[in-house]
Chains A and B, each alone.
Chain A
Amino acid sequence: MLLVHCPYCDETLPELEFTYGGEAHIARPENPADKTDDEWRDFLFIRTNVKGPHFERWRHAHGCGRFFNAVRDTVSDRFLTTYKADAPRPDLAVLLADASMKEPSK
Chain B
Amino acid sequence: MTTFRVPGRGRVLHNRPVSFTFDGMTYQGLEGDTVASALIANGVQLMGRSFKYHRPRGPMAAGSEEPNALIGTRRGKGRFEPNTRATVQEIWNGLETNSQNKYPSLKFDVGAINDRAYMLFSAGFYYKTFMWPRSFWDKYYEPFIRAAAGLGVSPSEPDPDNYASRYLHTDVLIIGAGPAGLASARAAATAGLRVTLVDENSEPGGTLLSEPQAQIDGKPAWDWLSAELDALTDLGVRIMTRTTAIGYYHQNMIALCQKLADHQEKPAEGAPRERMWRVRAKQVILAQGALEKPLVFDGNDRPGVMLAGSAQTYLNRYGVRVGNKAVIVTSHDSAWYAAFDLASAGTQIEAIVDTRPTPNADLIKEAAARGITVLPGHTATGTSGRLRIKSVRVNKVENGKVLTARNISCDSLLICGGWTPTLHLFSHTKGSLKWDDESQTFLPDRITEECQIAGAGRGLWGIASALNDGAVMGAAAATALGKSATAQTVTVTDDRPGTGESHTELPTDLDPGKARAFVDYQNDVTAKDLRLAVREGMRSIEHVKRYTTNGMATDQGKMSNINGLNIAADALGKKQPEVGLTTFRPPYTPTSFGAFAGYHKGEHFEVTRKTPIDSWAEENGAVFEPVSLWRRAWYFPKDGEDMDAAVRRECRETRKSLGMFDASTLGKIEVVGPDAVEFMNRMYTNPWTKLAPGRTRYGLLLGDDGFIRDDGVIGRLSDDRFHITTTTGGAARVLNMMEDYLQTEWPDLKVWLTSTTEQWSTIALNGPNARNLIEPFVEGLDISDAAFPHMSIAECTFAGFPARLFRVSFTGELGFEINVPARHGRALWEKLFDAGQKYDICTYGTETMHVLRAEKGFIIVGQDTDGTVTPYDAGAGWAIGKNKPDFVGMRALNRPDLTAEGRKQLVGLLTEDGTSKLEEGAQIVLDPNQPIPMKMVGHVTSSYHSDAAGRPIALALVEGGHGKTGDTVYIPMPDRTIKATITGTTFYDPEGARLKL
Residues in A lying within 8 Å of B, measured CB to CB: 1-3, 19, 21, 27-28, 31-33, 35, 37, 40-41, 43-44, 57, 59, 61, 65-67, 76-78, 85-86, 103-106
Contact = CB atoms under 8 A, between A and B. Distances in A.
B891 A33 contact: yes
Contact of A67 (B448, B740, B886, B894): B740
B364 to A, nearest CB: 39
B681 to A, nearest CB: 14
Chain A facing B: main interface SS: loop
B776 interface: no
Contacts of A1: 249-251, 253, 278
B91 to A, nearest CB: 37
Given A27-B745, A40-B895, A33 B885 contact: yes
Contacts of B895: 37, 40-41
Contacts of B886: 31-33
A2 B250 contact: yes
Interface string B234-251: 000000000000000111
Contacts of B739: 59, 65, 67
B250 A28 contact: no
A63 to B, nearest CB: 13
B505 to A, nearest CB: 36
Contacts of B896: 37
B704 interface: yes
A55 B745 CA distance: 17
A21 B885 CA distance: 27
B740 A21 contact: yes
B866 to A, nearest CB: 18
A51 to B, nearest CB: 14
Contacts of B912: none
Contacts of B449: 104
Q: Which of B253, B278, B886, B891 has the most CB of A within 10 A?
A: B891
A89 B495 CA distance: 59
Contact of B744 (A40, A43, A85): A85
Contacts of A105: 480
A78 B747 CA distance: 29
B744 A67 contact: yes
Contacts of A37: 894-896
9 contacts: A3-B250, A21-B740, A32-B886, A33-B885, A33-B891, A40-B891, A59-B739, A85-B744, A104-B448
Nearest to B451: A104
Interface of B: 249-251, 253, 278, 280, 430, 447-451, 480, 704-705, 736, 739-741, 743-745, 747, 885-886, 890-892, 894-896
Nearest to A30: B886
Contacts of A66: 743
Nearest to B449: A104
A103 B447 CA distance: 8
Contacts of B747: 85-86
A106 B892 contact: no
Contacts of B450: 104
Contacts of A33: 885-886, 890-891
Contacts of A104: 447-451
A41 B480 CA distance: 50
B890 A32 contact: yes
A36 to B, nearest CB: 10
A67 B745 CA distance: 11
Contacts of A19: 736
Contacts of B891: 32-33, 35, 40
Contact of B892 (A21, A44, A61, A77): A44
A7 to B, nearest CB: 13
Nearest to B746: A28
A59 B732 CA distance: 13
A86 B250 CA distance: 28
A73 B480 CA distance: 25
B879 to A, nearest CB: 19
Contacts of A65: 739
Q: Which of B251, B704, B744 has the most CB of A within 10 A?
A: B744
A19 to B, nearest CB: 8
A21 B745 CA distance: 14
Contacts of B253: 1
Nearest to B890: A32
A2 B252 CA distance: 9
A94 B721 CA distance: 46
Q: Which of A1, A32, A35 has the most CB of B within 10 A?
A: A32
Nearest to B886: A32
A95 to B, nearest CB: 17
A66 B280 CA distance: 25
B551 to A, nearest CB: 24
Contacts of A57: 744
A59 B448 contact: no
B567 to A, nearest CB: 31
Contacts of B892: 40, 44
Contacts of B890: 32-33
A104 B432 CA distance: 13
Contacts of A78: 250
Contacts of A44: 704-705, 892
A6 to B, nearest CB: 13
Q: Which of A33, A77, A105, A106 has the most CB of B within 10 A?
A: A106
Nearest to A85: B744
Q: 6 closest Cβ contacts across the A-B interface?
A: A32-B891, A28-B745, A67-B743, A3-B251, A104-B447, A2-B250
B349 to A, nearest CB: 43
B683 to A, nearest CB: 12
Nearest to B888: A28
A66 B747 CA distance: 12
Contacts of B743: 66-67, 85
B430 to A, nearest CB: 7
Contacts of B251: 1-3
Contacts of A21: 740
Contacts of B250: 1-3, 77-78
Contacts of A2: 250-251
Contacts of A35: 891
A99 to B, nearest CB: 12
A4 to B, nearest CB: 10
A28 B742 CA distance: 12
A40 B278 CA distance: 44
Contact of B704 (A28, A67, A77): A28
Contacts of A106: 447
A85 B741 CA distance: 12
B69 to A, nearest CB: 35
A67 B741 CA distance: 10
B128 to A, nearest CB: 35
A27 B736 CA distance: 17
A76 B448 contact: yes
B671 to A, nearest CB: 15
Nearest to A2: B250
B246 to A, nearest CB: 14
Contacts of A103: 448
Given A44-B892, A59-B739, 12 more contacts: A1-B249, A3-B250, A3-B251, A21-B740, A40-B891, A44-B704, A65-B739, A67-B739, A67-B743, A104-B447, A104-B449, A106-B447
Contacts of A76: 430, 448
A32 B891 CA distance: 6
Contacts of B280: 3
A61 B732 CA distance: 10
Nearest to B704: A44
Nearest to B705: A44
A103 B432 CA distance: 14
Nearest to B250: A2
Contacts of B480: 105
Nearest to A32: B891
A58 B740 CA distance: 10
B476 to A, nearest CB: 9
A66 B546 CA distance: 45
A3 B450 CA distance: 14
Nearest to B891: A32
